[in-house]
A and B are shown apart, each in its own frame.
Chain A
Amino acid sequence: EIVLTQSPDFQSVTPKEKVTITCRASQSISSSLHWYQQKPDQSPKLLIKYASQSFSGVPSRFSGSGSGTDFTLIINSLEAEDAATYYCHQSSSLPYTFGQGTKLEIK
C-alpha cells in the first residue's frame, strides 16, 4: 500500500499569506496525485488533479506541483474562506489512499 504523508498536520495562517502543503508518497506515483478541500460539515471538493492541473471553477490562487514522490499544494494570497482541511490522494495503484489531512486555520 502506498502511504501518503502530509505536512504540516495543522497550520494557523493570516489572510493574504502564502501557504505551502506537502504530500510525500512512500513510492513513486508519477503524477497520479490529486488534492481536495473539505470545509467543516461539507463534502470534499477536487482542487487539483494529476499534480498540477487545476479543476474547473477552482480559484487561480490554488496551484499544485511535483511528480514521483514529492508534491506540493500552494495557496497564494490566502482568503478567510480557505479555512478547511486539505487532503492529497493517489490513484496510481490499489488500494487508493489519502494523506492524513492538513487543517488550515485562519487567524
Chain B
Amino acid sequence: QVQLVESGGGVVQPGGSLRLSCAASGFTFTSYGMHWVRQAPGKGLEWVAFIRYDESTKSYADSVKGRFTISRDNSKNMLFLQMSSLRAEDTAVYYCVKDGSRSSGSLDSWGQGTLVTVSS
C-alpha cells in the first residue's frame, strides 16, 4: 500500500531555513505528481506546492512563492520542500501528498505530516 513518510520538521527562528523530506513507497513514484499541503494549528488546509511526475512543472501558492522550492529525486522515491525566509505564519503541519495522476487532480494519499514551528 501507499506510504508517505515526512521528516525534517522542527522549531526554527524567523528568517531561518528548513528542508522537509518525504519518503514514498508502495507505488510507482515516477508516474505521479506530488504536492505539499499545510495546516496551521486549528485551521483548515492550504495547498503549498506541486511538482509533476517528470519535474517539468512546479507550482507554488502565492504565500510561499520565492521562498519555498519543491523538488523530487525519482531515483530515490523522495520528495522535498526547501523552505527559507520562514515566517511565523508558516507554522503548520506539512503533509506530503500523492496526486491521483501524472499531472494534477485529486489528492489520493497523504502522509502523517511533520510539524514546522517558526518562533524566536
Cβ contact within 8 Å between B111 and A43 = yes
Number of interface residues of B (CB under 8 A): 22
Which residues of chain A have C-beta atoms less than 8 A from B61's C-beta? 95
Which residues of chain A have C-beta atoms less than 8 A from B60's C-beta? 95
Cβ contact within 8 Å between A96 and B50 = yes
Q: How far is the CA of A91 from the CA of B106 in the complex (A)?
A: 7
Known pairs A36-B107, A91-B105; A43 contacts B112 (CB<8 A): yes
Q: Is the interface of B mostly helix, strand, loop or mixed?
A: strand
Residue of B whose beta carbon sits closest to that of A90: B47
User: Does residue A71 face the partner (Cβ distance < 8 Å to B)?
Assistant: no
The tally of CB-CB contacts under 8 A between chains A and B is 60
Which residues of chain A have C-beta atoms less than 8 A from B106's C-beta? 34, 46, 49-50, 55, 89, 91
User: Does residue B85 face the partner (Cβ distance < 8 Å to A)?
Assistant: no
Query: Please, what's the 1-or-0 string for B9-47, where 1 marks a CB less than 8 Å from any CB in chain A?
Result: 000000000000000000000000001000000001111
Known pairs A43-B95, A95-B59, A95-B62; A100 contacts B107 (CB<8 A): no
Picked from B45, B62, B108, B109, the residue with its CB within 8 Å of the CB of A98 is B45
Which residues on A are within 8 Å of B, measured CB to CB?
1, 32, 34, 36, 38, 43-46, 49-50, 55, 85, 87, 89, 91, 94-101
Cβ contact within 8 Å between A55 and B105 = no
Cβ contact within 8 Å between A43 and B107 = no
Cβ contact within 8 Å between B104 and A91 = yes
Among B46, B47, B60, residue most surrounded by chain A Cβ atoms (within 10 Å): B47
Known pairs A97-B47, A98-B46; A43 contacts B110 (CB<8 A): yes
Q: How far is the CA of A85 from the CA of B106 in the complex (A)?
A: 18
Q: How far is the CB of A17 from chain B (nearest CB, A)?
A: 24
Picked from B108, B110, B111, the residue with its CB within 8 Å of the CB of A49 is B108
Which residues of chain A have C-beta atoms less than 8 A from B108's C-beta? 46, 49, 55
Q: How far is the CA of A99 from the CA of B47 in the complex (A)?
A: 11
Picked from A46, A96, A97, A100, the residue with its CB within 8 Å of the CB of B104 is A96
Residue of B whose beta carbon sits closest to that of A96: B47
